[in-house]
Each structure stands twice: as C-alpha cells, then as structure tokens.
Structure 1
Amino acid sequence: MTQKGRPILAAFQFLSRFPVRAELEFTPELLKRSAKYYPLVGAAIGIVIWLIGAIAGLALPVFPLSVILLIVWVWLTGGLHLDGWMDSADAFLSYRPREKMLEIMKDSRVGAMGVLGCVLLLLFKTSLLVTLLGRGLYAAGAGIMIAPIWSRWFMALAMRKWPTARGKEGLAGRFQGQSSEDTLRSTLLALALSAVLLLLAAVPQCGDVNLILSSVYYILAPVLAWGIGSWMAGRMSTRLGGLTGDTYGAMNEGLEAMLLLFACLLF
C-alpha cells in the first residue's frame, strides 16, 4: 500500500462500511490528509444506492424500495453521521449553556430530542427518495449520487474554516491543520465526480432538457451546500464556541436532505 493511497483508504474506513482491508493507524496526520477524499466516499455511497434502486426498482414499488435504500444508506455509513445528528439534536434543543451542551454530546445515551430528530429526518429522507424514484432513474440518480458528494465536501471545508469547541481534544481536534490547497483539491474532486455522475444518470433518459437540468444542478448544488452548510456551521459554532465531531455529522445529514430536496424541486 503506497503512502499516497493510505489517505484514500482511511477516508473509506472512517466514513463507511466498504470492505477496505488495510491496517491503518488513525493518527491526526492521516485523518487530516484523508479529509480531502471525502467526496470520493460520498460518490461511492451514491453509486451503490442508485444501482440498487435501478435494479430493485424493476420488481419493487417505490415506497418500500425507498425504505430499503435508506436502510442501505444508513448501513453503508455505519450510522456515523446519524449519531452526530442525534447528539446534536439532544444538545442544541436542550437550550442549556455551552458546557452542558458539550457534556450532552459526549454522553453515549440518546435523549428524547435525539430520537425525535432521527425519526423526523428519516421520514423526510424517505419522502424525498419516494419523490425522486417516482420521477425516473435520471432524477433519482442525479439526487442520490450528488447529494452525498457535496455534503461530505462541506464537512472537510468546515474542518478547516471553523474552530473546534474543545480545542485539540476530541475527534474534531484531530482534523485541524488542513490547508487551502487541501480544500481546493477536495473541491476539484467533487466537481469532477459530479460531472461524471450527472452524465451517467442522464444516460437512461438522455435529452436536451435533462442536460440543461444537469447543468443547473451541477452549478447550484455546491452553492447550496456551501450556503446552507455555512449557516449551520456558523450557528453551531456561535453556540458552542466551535465545532465538534458530532456537528460535522449533523451537517452532513442536514445537507444531504437539503440537496435531495433541491433535486426534487428541480427535476
């Protein structure tokens, strides 16, 4: 295994359940170097979900298929980001002081707000998948494959742009120290992956209208991810004095949902 390949493998091992067989020590240096490849992990997850949807959709109705796809989606991520969403919901909806919110996030138990937040998010995502799948392979492919790319791209951006709530302590502190060059590489990777996958999604239903919609989505998806993500990160950072590993996961979940919603509105 080359030194250049280790960060890519680390990104897949850390963010997904893909069978990456490599003995890696997740040092702060390796974690920092792996973050720029997060869009690649998102693309892999999106491709798997879309392919399952395209094949299983030949036999299954849209609603049960959407539930199955969401189950696979959560399984592929190991529930990592969903856990961050629940912990963040427990903390921010407790309306407690900063120190107490940080304590709540460290607690492995899930409270009522976390459960409610999880249920509502999964219901919302299910409804979005039902809508996209009901509009054909192109709409489903565009939304499902692009959303996880840009939600994970923003996580890497947030690691560089906003401070951590616990300084060098905790998971978030281990990602600190990324450069603007890392962000540029991550952005170029996300743009390249998005272009290829949007063209792939358009193959079953190729046409001038779909190509126009693909162009619009290609341009606006990263803008939307940056805008909504920056708003979320800013609000969270203001209340906590920085970001945590849980807030990174929460932002990923929120952005995935918003990008899927945008795909529903556009296609």
Structure 2
Amino acid sequence: MSKRYLVKIRYQWQLFCLALMFFSQLPVSKSLPYSEKRMNRANRYFSLVGIVIGLLVCLSYSLFDHFFSTHLVIILTMITSVYITGAFHEDGLADMADGMGGGYSAEKRLTIMKDSRIGTYGTVTLVLSLLLKFQLLVELEQHSILMISVVFAYAMSRAFAASLIFDTPYVAEDDSSKSKPIACQQSGIDLMILLAVAFLPALLFPWLFVGFWSLLLTIIVILLLLRLAFRYWLISKIAGYTGDCLGAAQQVSELIIYLVLIHHISNTGVF
C-alpha cells in the first residue's frame, strides 16, 4: 500500500476519532489534530460513532443481565449510556425545551439555551423522555430485540440529527456559549456516508421475515416527515439550529424509532 493511501486512511481515522471525541467520553489521543474544517468533515462519521456507542451499551446490558432483574438491568444500561456520552444529547434536549418553552423571541430563546442552568421545561421534558425510554427498552427486551434495536436506533438517530447540518442554517453562538465546537457545514458526500453507515445495523434484523422492508420504509418515511417538520419549526423559532437542537433531535428520533419498532411487533407479532 502506497504512502499516499496510508495518509488518506490516517486522515479518515483522525476524523472518526474527532467525531468520537465530540459525541462521547471515550478516550482518544490528546494530540489529535483539530480544525474547524476537520470538525465539519468529521460529521460523516457521527452515525458510525452511534454504532460504536450502541455496541458498548449492549455489552454493558449483557454483563448486567447476568446479575440483576430486567428493570434494574435496563436502568443500569441507561446509566452506562449517559456516562459514555456525557449526557451530551440529554443536555441538548433539556436546554432546547427550556429555550423554546421560556422564550418569546428568537434572541431570548437562544439566550436561555446558552444558560447552563436547567429550568422547569427542561426538567419536565428530560424526566418524561427518560421514563418513556425506560418503558420502551423494557418492552423491546420482552420481545428479545433490545440490543439490535439499540444499535440501530443509536446510529439512525445520530444520522437524523446530523443530517440537519446539510440544509439548515447554523445559528452562530457567541463566546459565552457553553457548547462544544460543532460541525456547521456538510457536503453531499458527507451526508451520503452518514446515511449509508446508519443503515448498516438494519442488517442485524432478521430481514428475510415478511414485513421487514415495509417496517424499514415506515421508519424512513416517519423520520423524513419528522425532519421536515422539525427543520421548519427550528427555522420559525430561532432561524436555524444550534448544538442543543441537534442533541434534542437525536433524543426525539431515538424514541420514535423505538415506538415504531414496538408498534410493528404489537401489530404483526413477528421479528
């Protein structure tokens, strides 16, 4: 293999590590090169990071399942997930709920979202979303597809959130923002890689059963409609997106994927 290709592979690996550092607390090299351009290019690997985190969460689930009851295992698994991600997405959901619920202008909403304190809207939204996620994971476990569903949803939801970068204006935040650096540009190639990787976990499902393709199509259509509505709502409220909005998009779409999977099983009885 020529030196040229090794340099390209190393560059892509560094982009993936940068995405991993952005989306999780997993250790990466402290000497990892960083620039705004690299951050923008790294968004192509956000769904791959979702797969990695999902697999680690599933590993923790398997370990806990040897020692504890179902409900306790689910709670410990959720704690593991939050620890790995640093509650990054949950924080975004709470902040966006506070901003959208408590602000009466775009400027006020953005100001509230930048505040590190959590308010009533954020607290209620976060608590209800965690309760809903717990119940959904319990039901998925009862149908013996929890681990497959988690990996699939972690990848798809991150692709859903990151795809907003492609055609939604980024609302620049000032120096007082508490947010991490964020990707604010996305090329067509980056978007295609992001989406292609996100569909890989779908291969884990028993796709030969009747109804699989209709289920996958249903998830795609629902996420596309959600994306259209969510994007329109963000532009009407704050003229674009912030990092908090992407975190909220990931959490909401993850829950919706679980809901669609459970609805499918309840109505067809197959997986």
With structure 2 as the length reference, what TM-score do the two structures score? 0.85
Is the counterpart of residue 44 in structure 1 residue 52 in structure 2? Answer: yes
Q: What is the letter of the counterpart of residue 160 of structure 2? A: F
Q: Distance in 1 between matches of 2:193 and 2:42?
A: 11
Matches within 5 A, 1:140-179: 140-166=146-172, 174-179=182-187
Q: Distance in 2 between matches of 1:54 and 1:213?
A: 28
Equivalent pair of 1:153/1:187 in contact (CA under 8 Å):
yes
Q: Distance in 1 between matches of 2:38 and 2:94?
A: 27
Is the counterpart of residue 7 in structure 1 residue 15 in structure 2? Answer: yes
Q: Deviations over 1:184-238 (max 9, x none)?
A: 12112222x2234335xx8xxxxx6xx3354444433333333223322221221
Partner of 2:71: 63
Q: Distance in 1 between matches of 2:97 and 2:43?
A: 24
Equivalent pair of 1:9/1:22 in contact (CA under 8 Å):
no
Matches within 5 A, 1:198-209: 198=205
Instruction: Give the alignment's Cα RMSD to 1 decimal.
Output: 2.3
Matches within 5 A, 1:172-187: 174-187=182-195
Q: What is the letter of the counterpart of residue 225 of structure 1? A: L
Q: Give the gaps of 5 or more residues in structure 2.
A: 1-6, 266-271
Which of the residues 197, 202, 224 maps onto 2:204?
A: 197
Q: What is the letter of the counterpart of residue 111 of structure 2? A: E
Q: Distance in 1 between matches of 2:115 and 2:158?
A: 25
Which of the residues 124, 129, 139 maps onto 1:131?
A: 139
Identity of aligned residues (%): 26
Which of the residues 260, 263, 266 maps onto 2:261?
A: 263
Equivalent pair of 2:95/2:244 in contact (CA under 8 Å):
yes
1:174 Cα deviation from its structure 2 partner? 5.0
Q: Distance in 2 between matches of 1:26 and 1:167?
A: 19
Partner of 1:80: 88
How many pairs were matched up?
255
Q: What is the letter of the counterpart of residue 204 of structure 2? A: L
1:255 Cα deviation from its structure 2 partner? 0.7
Partner of 1:250: 248
Q: What is the letter of the counterpart of residue 228 of structure 2? A: S
- Mean Cα deviation higher: 168-177 or 43-52: 168-177
1:37 Cα deviation from its structure 2 partner? 0.5
Q: Distance in 1 between matches of 2:115 and 2:259?
A: 31
Matches within 5 A, 1:202-217: 211-212=209-210, 214-217=212-215
Q: Deviations over 1:229-257 (max 9, x none)?
A: 33222212211011111101111111111
Equivalent pair of 2:20/2:49 in contact (CA under 8 Å):
yes
Q: What is the letter of the counterpart of residue 142 of structure 1? A: I
Counterparts in 2 of 1:172 and 1:113: CA distance versus 1, 3 Å? same
1:177 Cα deviation from its structure 2 partner? 2.8
Runs (4 or more) in structure 1 with deviation over 4 Å come to 167-174
Q: Distance in 1 between matches of 2:226 and 2:70?
A: 29
Partner of 1:205: none
With structure 1 as the length reference, what TM-score do the two structures score? 0.86
Q: What is the letter of the counterpart of residue 195 of structure 1? A: A
Counterparts in 2 of 1:167 and 1:77: CA distance versus 1, 3 Å? closer
Q: Distance in 2 between matches of 1:32 and 1:126?
A: 33
Equivalent pair of 1:62/1:134 in contact (CA under 8 Å):
no
